Amino acid sequence: MHGRPVPLTVRHMEQATRITLRIEPGGRALKMTVPYGLPEHELSAFLKRHKGWLENKLFDYPDDTRPVPGGTILIRGIPHRIVHTGKLRGLTEAGEENGEPILRVSGLEDHVGRRIADYLKKLARSELDRLVAHHAGLSGKRYKDVTLKDTRSRWGSCSTAGNLNFSWRIAMAPPEVIDYLAAHEVAHLTEMNHGPKFWALCKRLCPHMEESKAWLKRHGSALHAIDFG
């Protein structure tokens, strides 16, 4: 659509009673769930009827989302201009230049995206290890491990064994949003659901919960859309 291919996955489910269509985070793909045995012509007709809606929605997602020198990347909610140093060796470091936040990236220019991703992973690890330990202490719960992944369907998860999983892309969000995500998953150590008791505990751990949830709802897809290569 709009000159770029958008993969479509169709799932036939016996329990489905109608066609549902979802745009995956970042606008990179479409997922359709349909009743089992639905004729192909009905799928085509459904997509044709909703073509205008899809094009309008997908128009909000840029075609090229790769971080490039001169562009910007969010670090803890603050836009940083990407500066390629031209040096083959060196750390990826956040700093300032004439009062402007910048991110200095060394190495080959083709590797800028990967180096930024590595920087964000390290930042996410540092932030989440600290925040998870803090919230677990407040709630009196123990956890086993903290794992970072590049999940697109959710920002975090908690297993019944006490393992906490997070998307490292959360390092691009403001500090209070990172704090909320840590509190959210730690709260699942007590309540493995999204019932009233869970949300009450989550808010006790993170008083700015509602504002942080709203930020993720507004900006989360844009963070998922970035192609780090």
| CB 13 within 8 Å of CB 47 | no
Q: What is the mean pLDDT of the chain?
A: 92
| CB 10 within 8 Å of CB 34 | yes
Average pLDDT of 7-14?
89
Confidence band of 61 (pLDDT split at 50, 70, 90): low
Residue 27 exposed, middle or buried by CB count within 10 Å (0-12, 13-18, 19+): buried
In single-letter form, the type of residue at position 111 comes to H
pLDDT at 53: 82
pLDDT at 6 exceeding the cut of 60: yes
Q: What is the pTM of this model?
A: 0.79
User: Structural domain boundaries of the chain?
Assistant: 8-58, 72-225
Run of H or E residues at 21? strand 20-23
pLDDT tens, position by position, 206-219:
999 999 999 999 99
pLDDT tens, position by position, 131-172:
999 999 999 999 999 999 998 778 999 999 999 999 999 999
| CB 26 within 8 Å of CB 225 | yes
Run of H or E residues at 105? strand 100-105
**What is the spatial distance between Cα 164 and Cα 166, in angstroms, rounded to a whole number?**
7
Query: 5: Cβ–Cβ under 8 A, 6 or more apart, which residues?
Result: none
Confidence band of 3 (pLDDT split at 50, 70, 90): low
CATH 3.30.300.20 describes domain 72-225: no
Which has more pLDDT, 6 or 85?
85
In single-letter form, the type of residue at position 77 comes to G
DSSP 112-174: HHHHHHHHHHHHHHHHHHHHHHHHHHHHT----EEEEE--SS-SEEE-TTSEEEEEGGGGGS-
